[in-house]
Amino acid sequence: MKRISQGPDLAALAESVRKAQRRRRRRTQTAHVSATTTVLSDGDACENEHAMPKTARVLGPYKNGNKWRLVLLDGVQRKAMVADSLEAALALRADLAGQLERHAGRRFGDALDEYLQNLVERGVTQDTADKVGRMLRPFLPLDHALSSIDAERAQQLYLDETRRKKTNGEPIANDSHHLLLRRVKHFYKWAISRRYVGHNPFAEVRPIGRARRGKQQLRIDEARKLVAAALERAQALDAGATAILMQIFLGLRPTEALVRVARDLDDEGRILWVPFGKTSNARRRLQVPDTLRAILLRHAKDKPPDAPLLGPPGEAQHTRDLIRYRLRILCEQLGLPRVCPHSLRGLNATLALDAGATAHHVAAALGHSSFTTTARHYADASSVANVGLRRVADLLATRADDSAYVPQLASLLRANLSEVDLAKLRMMLAEKLQS
């Protein structure tokens, strides 16, 4: 039976009374507002309403019982503070306004200089810090205050970057603007730790497009042509050609090859020391093959210990642009695909794996903490898969009768076989057991 309502809904009536009470309280509190402080710096002035930033500001004080309340707004963050008296609240508001004014006046250019210096103090090489600066300076509005970018403008800045064209007219690579986004987020993380800003406007910005894994590599015959041409030029102490050979034979980063000094070549040219690099794992000692050893000894002959290893005596230390230029010229002259210097490290990893080197040793030679980075960005996917398959074959051939190795074998099979192949293998094993 349907129930007939005999009176008003008491819950709805009570809620209506509570809303009316809240409205009266808000009107009463508004009458007690002494002032509203909004901190704007000269650099925050915008040409249109769309670009107007949400600046940090202090609201209040408001009467709150027998106390006084202040509200600090900083972008998306809101923080309330309470003072015992109106005089104390006004003093607190003045102090907060002063702090906001100092921080709001911090320009991107000054903050970026401080950030890059902090990177060096924390152990990042000067070369890496300079590269970070070259990437961030064109992207950030250096003359504007840090508070001049909100979440909406951050999203638009990143979208504009993804549509930017390089000087040759080609679109910027996904990997490039992905890296830029990571670096600008790290910059804001540092700025928050310095209390220059209260939040990161790029926090919710997501990378657009799929990152490319690995770089184009030369084939084996193509690499032989490049090595032959580079050896001919290296005999004449061409620093760029020798650095290319060091990348191919030793897996060095471009800068690692060029910053070596004479004393890094040790044990009559058999050992090359890499005492520092991009990360702590970059420190390593590499065995120099005989083909490269004689050339490096000629470069080091009669040089002081701290003199640059590559180039004729008295020649200044070169930058990585030398390798990029020399590699481009050689590829054009030999009719080879145009590859970047970093791909030569990948070529080293691929050839080492094909020759039977273990994944651990290949990663260590490249200065990686694990083989995961090597497999994802450097070595050819087929070579990585072949390493796993060789381990499977070795395990089947040598210890197939040992039940202790069954879990390891199962793990290797799952890592190197597709779901379809695994299903076929299960069927074959089931048929074998039934027979």
**pLDDT per position as a tens digit, 362-396:** 455 555 445 454 445 444 444 444 444 444 445 44
Asked whether residue 358 carries a pLDDT value surpassing 80, the answer given is no
Asked whether residue 312 carries a pLDDT value surpassing 90, the answer given is no
Name the helix (H) or strand (E) containing 73. strand 67-74
- DSSP letter at 53 equals -
- Residues 36, 57: contact at Cβ < 8 Å? yes
What tokens does 65 get?
């019982």
Task: Please identify, among 158, 175, 193, the residue that sits at the C-terminal boundary of a domain.
Answer: 193
Please state which of the ranges 17-26, 68-77, 91-100, 399-408 shows the lowest mean pLDDT.
399-408
How much is the pLDDT for 56?
63
Q: DSSP E strands: which ranges in 244-379?
A: 265-266, 271-274, 284-287
How much is the pLDDT for 399?
46
Other Cβ atoms within 10 Å of 214 Cβ, number: 16
Asked whether residue 108 carries a pLDDT value surpassing 50, the answer given is yes
Distance CA 432, CA 414 (A): 20
The answer to whether residues 342 and 257 belong to one domain is yes
User: Crossing angle, helix 359-366 and helix 343-354, to 10 degrees?
Assistant: 160
Is 268 contained in some domain? yes
In the block, tokens 């064109």 appear at 138
- Residues 415, 251: contact at Cβ < 8 Å? no
Measured in whole angstroms, the distance separating CA 208 from the mean position of its chain's CA atoms is 15
The answer to whether residues 233 and 130 belong to one domain is no
The answer to whether residues 267 and 300 belong to one domain is yes
Asked whether residue 344 carries a pLDDT value surpassing 50, the answer given is yes
Is 176 contained in some domain? yes
Residue 20 burial (10 A CB sphere; 0-12, 13-18, 19+): exposed
Task: Please identify, among 176, 193, 210, the residue that sits at the C-terminal boundary of a domain.
Answer: 193
Angle at 212 between CA 224 and CA 182, to 5 degrees: 125
The answer to whether residues 339 and 275 belong to one domain is yes
Query: Residue 184: how many CA atoms within 13 Å on its side-chain side?
Result: 30
Is 371 contained in some domain? no
Dmax (CA) for the chain in angstroms is 109
The answer to whether residues 95 and 155 belong to one domain is no
Name which residue leads in pLDDT, 389 or 117.
Answer: 117
Other Cβ atoms within 10 Å of 147 Cβ, number: 26
Structural domain of 100: 22-104
What CATH number corresponds to the domain at position 314?
A: 1.10.443.10
- Range 141-145 average pLDDT: 90
Kindly indicate the confidence band of residue 55, based on its pLDDT and cuts at 50, 70 and 90.
low
- Residues 315, 258: contact at Cβ < 8 Å? no
The answer to whether residues 224 and 353 belong to one domain is yes
The answer to whether residues 149 and 48 belong to one domain is no
The answer to whether residues 238 and 303 belong to one domain is yes
Residue 171's beta-bridge partner residues? 165
- Residues 283, 365: contact at Cβ < 8 Å? no
Is 29 contained in some domain? yes
Is 229 contained in some domain? yes
What tokens does 101 get?
């004014």
Distance CA 367, CA 154 (A): 35
The answer to whether residues 343 and 250 belong to one domain is yes
Residue 135 carries which side chain, given as an amino acid letter? M
What CATH number corresponds to the domain at position 117?
A: 1.10.150
**Counted domains in the chain:** 3
Closest Cα partner for 203 from 221, 220, 180, 184? 184
The answer to whether residues 61 and 113 belong to one domain is no
In the block, tokens 């027979």 appear at 435
Mean pLDDT score across all residues of the chain: 76
The answer to whether residues 136 and 187 belong to one domain is yes
Task: Please identify, among 330, 357, 384, the residue that sits at the C-terminal boundary of a domain.
Answer: 357
The answer to whether residues 229 and 343 belong to one domain is yes
